[in-house]
Chain A
């Protein structure tokens, strides 16, 4: 009998996954130009303290930003070169921080995959976490939470589950998919390290069943190496890659509103992050590069590019043969939660999983009409909110009431706006509402 696939409880949608063109493209190295821009605030939390000034010569992999406070991450220089200027830069997600503008010059170090640190198994959790912090790791799934904080189990808590997130539920994106296929061993060793740090009782690698090859490959590798990990294939549904939905899909537990996953004994870590943990601990390499899916209707040759932080988005789009005359919107990240670019010189950052050049046809902008009270948004909200009610409260300026109705639980997954036939900008209102609510105390 066929085993019923797991998934999360309520709401959710099934957008067309559009992974096809890029999913079968093996990861390749991208080109880069003569300049790079490296922002200090590429993660959730306080931006890093900039350590260089104009005129400085920097080496590849040199630390140029120092984590400022407990929730922050170091920033390393992806290229050798000379600092031209250090100026504030606003990233597409609205965060503003100082950025190092670099002229690339000087010798590159030869790429080596030498296992510098084979003995990590004998190291303590603290030492391993320190190494991860040292390498400036942030979650590569999109939320960019500093990894050394995210996977550290607080005192008095126990991790029953370590869930490895290979869901990648956003349409178009397939960077994690390629990582699972092409860096299977690295990912698994990265998982070993995270499992050791968290001392998790059970390790579950969760992948949606629209990626049969990745599931196969991971299962095979797990079985061959005799690791006690479980590869769980999940029913396709957006936003399953979200931490809370994923935990519910896998364990059935609901993370209480406002609490962290560890509250229900879970630690979640993205597959790409697991690979970067491997890089940081075994190869002792800082996080200066990542895999980015470049796709969308206006891109002639969609690809998965291994690119370094700081390369302008436009260069990668041009490299993949983007017809800019067809582009209606350039999106960084996935189409559901990603940000539309206001400046195509925006650099790739640690959190950039995808760059999409979308045509008008793909976006399907709708004319805004009055809310039909159709209830579709209520039925698709995975958080059990009533987006229509929140929206009306925010439009009326009732931020406190909106907060009471659960505004802060909204994770901006976009299910409501996607579905709303009236084409209302619901998520936009929620973002605004959250900011104004915070401002008003």
Chain B
């Protein structure tokens, strides 16, 4: 007889005996995959130095995580979150940044914004954003020095090329307030560089429709503009975001509420600073530029630092949109996505408590009555 107990070598654990196929590693892998096209596009546009920035960010994040593992005597490198954080830090860096800045940003992200709080899942602020903000306040001028992309095919390229569209708008809009029809006009008026390709397509469209659309939207959408390494191609970021949505890694609430709120506010109030009155803002241009796509799909949706439930996610997204709008239009920085998300991150514990699910078979009002 072979059925002696000692021969029994099967696994004995608590139910459920089977598991779904989504794991932490898989989530991280998918998010990284979804980010890669946009990151590589940045490298293509800004050259190999920007690749070095990305690699250095990732390696430093991994090294920092490794150090934390050594101290904690627990191997958490395998969950992939450090690599993701590093990649995000890199993607949020201007392309020609001195390399010590991403190194510092990654270390701060992993050690200060994650490990100190207790590691993955316990941090309150998105580590990559924490790292970025740290760099932002420590080396402001470096963080504001942008480089023009490779493919500016316009002949009008001059000193302004290296300004991002948003900082360009912010710095010149007050000058022209009252004298322009919309903010987008300004881009054309001041000869913010556009590619020939964009000009051609816009002309074609204008010819067809008889309207007079400004050029620049296609460049903004596909990523022919200056900015941080990973934020320039709204198209690739949107595709990555939709991929994550389709794979059910992220949910629709946060990106939708974030972008929706922001676009609405821009449309209603965005024209005010250009002196064109209410309902004259240019939501499309605003949505396609800056770090909005990257932020809305990849950083605001970070599970650790966003709320659990649908309703709370919507509120969270609305908050992000509102704050981004306020900072972009009324703050002293041209870009507000990171700050907005970080601020909303802080409200997550409260949002979670606010949206506690109703227990099955327990009436809302009678809370606390039952033992």
Complexed CA–CA distance, A369 and B77 (Å): 10
Complexed CA–CA distance, A186 and B25 (Å): 51
Question: Contact string, A240-276, partner B, CB cutoff 8 A, digits 1/0?
Answer: 0000100000000011111100000000000000000
Report which of B5, B15, B358 forms a contact with A384, defined as CB distance below 8 A: B358
Minimum Cβ distance to chain B for residue A363 (Å): 6
Report which of A256, A406, A414 forms a contact with B15, defined as CB distance below 8 A: A414
**Nearest residue in A to B303 (C-beta to C-beta)?**
A374
Binds A, one of B6-14, B217-225, B268-276, B283-291: B6-14
- Size of the A side of the interface (Cβ < 8 Å), in residues, is 70
Whether B359 and A338, one on each chain, are in contact in the complex, defined by CB atoms closer than 8 angstroms, is: no
Binds B, one of A22-30, A72-80, A278-286, A341-349: A341-349
Minimum Cβ distance to chain A for residue B178 (Å): 48
- Size of the B side of the interface (Cβ < 8 Å), in residues, is 44
Near B by CB (< 8 A), chain A positions 209-234 give none
Report which of B14, B307, B358, B370 forms a contact with A431, defined as CB distance below 8 A: B14
Complexed CA–CA distance, A376 and B309 (Å): 9
Report which of A254, A340, A382, A421 forms a contact with B10, defined as CB distance below 8 A: A340
Q: Could you say which residues of chain B place their CB within 8 Å of the CB of A335? A: 16-18
Near A by CB (< 8 A), chain B positions 341-362 give 356-362
Whether B122 and A382, one on each chain, are in contact in the complex, defined by CB atoms closer than 8 angstroms, is: no
Knowing A369-B76, A369-B79, A373-B303 are in contact, say whether A336-B16 is a contact too (CB < 8 A): yes
Complexed CA–CA distance, A428 and B362 (Å): 24
Knowing A328-B10, A375-B307 are in contact, say whether A370-B18 is a contact too (CB < 8 A): no
Q: Could you say which residues of chain B place their CB within 8 Å of the CB of A431? A: 14
Q: Could you say which residues of chain B place their CB within 8 Å of the CB of A382? A: 360
Q: Does A15 contact B (CB under 8 A)?
A: yes
Q: Does B27 contact A (CB under 8 A)?
A: yes
**Nearest residue in B to A429 (C-beta to C-beta)?**
B14
Q: Does B120 contact A (CB under 8 A)?
A: yes
Whether B23 and A366, one on each chain, are in contact in the complex, defined by CB atoms closer than 8 angstroms, is: yes
Report which of A379, A383, A423 forms a contact with B360, defined as CB distance below 8 A: A383
Whether A385 and B19, one on each chain, are in contact in the complex, defined by CB atoms closer than 8 angstroms, is: no
Q: Does A365 contact B (CB under 8 A)?
A: yes
**Nearest residue in B to A263 (C-beta to C-beta)?**
B361
Q: Could you say which residues of chain A place their CB within 8 Å of the CB of B308? A: 373, 375, 378-379, 386, 388
Question: Contact string, A357-381, partner B, CB cutoff 8 A, digits 1/0?
Answer: 0100011111101111111101101
Minimum Cβ distance to chain A for residue B97 (Å): 30
Complexed CA–CA distance, A427 and B308 (Å): 19
Report which of B15, B19, B21, B27 forms a contact with A338, defined as CB distance below 8 A: B15
Whether A409 and B360, one on each chain, are in contact in the complex, defined by CB atoms closer than 8 angstroms, is: yes
Whether A256 and B361, one on each chain, are in contact in the complex, defined by CB atoms closer than 8 angstroms, is: yes
Most buried by A among B11, B16, B79, B122: B16
**Nearest residue in A to B308 (C-beta to C-beta)?**
A375
The 3 closest A-B pairs by CB, nearest first: A375-B308, A414-B16, A428-B14
24 CB < 8 A contacts A-B: A10-B357, A254-B360, A328-B10, A335-B17, A336-B16, A340-B11, A340-B12, A340-B14, A358-B17, A364-B20, A365-B19, A369-B24, A370-B76, A372-B24, A372-B304, A373-B308, A374-B27, A375-B308, A378-B308, A406-B362, A409-B360, A418-B20, A423-B24, A428-B14
Interface residues of A (CB under 8 A from B): 9-10, 13, 15, 171, 244, 254-259, 314, 327-331, 335-345, 356, 358, 362-367, 369-376, 378-379, 381-386, 388, 403, 406, 409, 412, 414, 417-423, 425, 427-428, 431
Interface residues of B (CB under 8 A from A): 3, 5, 8, 10-27, 76, 78-79, 119-122, 303-305, 307-310, 356-362, 370-371
| Given pairs A372-B303, A384-B362, A417-B16, 11 additional interface contacts (CB within 8 A) | A9-B360, A335-B16, A341-B10, A343-B8, A363-B11, A373-B121, A375-B307, A386-B357, A409-B361, A419-B20, A425-B14
